[in-house]
Amino acid sequence: MAETKGASRWVGNLDEMIEYAKDGIVSKTIVDTPEAKIVLFAFSPGQCLSEHTASVPASIHVLEGTASILLGDERHDAGPGTYVYMPAELKHAVDAKDNMVFLLTLHRGANG
């Protein structure tokens, strides 16, 4: 299916967009509007997003692979289908255990 982009819509095949970098992370912005930013991330094994915070609420939806996700002071195992919602300013990190793909959504129009 071809991608369709517009101010209020996006239709595409996420599986066709997945690319892995050897020993790296590939990110592709799918939607970038004042209300939300949605990014597809693909991690090779052992890659991580170090501990950080976001100024807006965010969510992670794991599509494939497994990871350890730090939320505050707690670690959580995450696999396909895992959905994580994080309020603004919550410290978090992602560590890929194997090839791993997730959607990150920054909820810009929401308050924590």
Domain of residue 12, CATH code: 2.60.120.10
Q: Does 79 map to a domain?
A: yes
DSSP conformation class of 19? -
Indicate the SS3 state at residue 34. Answer: coil
Does the pLDDT of residue 72 top 60, yes or no?
yes
Whether pTM exceeds 0.75:
yes
% helix / strand / coil in the chain, to the nearest 5?
5, 55, 40
Overall number of domains in the chain: 1
Which one, of 28, 22, 17, 4, lies nearest residue 104 by Cα? 28
Does the pLDDT of residue 82 top 80, yes or no?
yes
Ramachandran angles phi, psi of 71, nearest 5°: -130, 110
Q: Does 112 map to a domain?
A: no
pLDDT at 107: 96
Q: Considering only residues 62 and 111, tell me which one the structure prediction assigns the higher pLDDT.
A: 62
The tens digit of pLDDT for each residue in 29-65 reads 999 999 999 999 999 999 999 999 999 999 999 999 9
Domain range for 20? 4-107
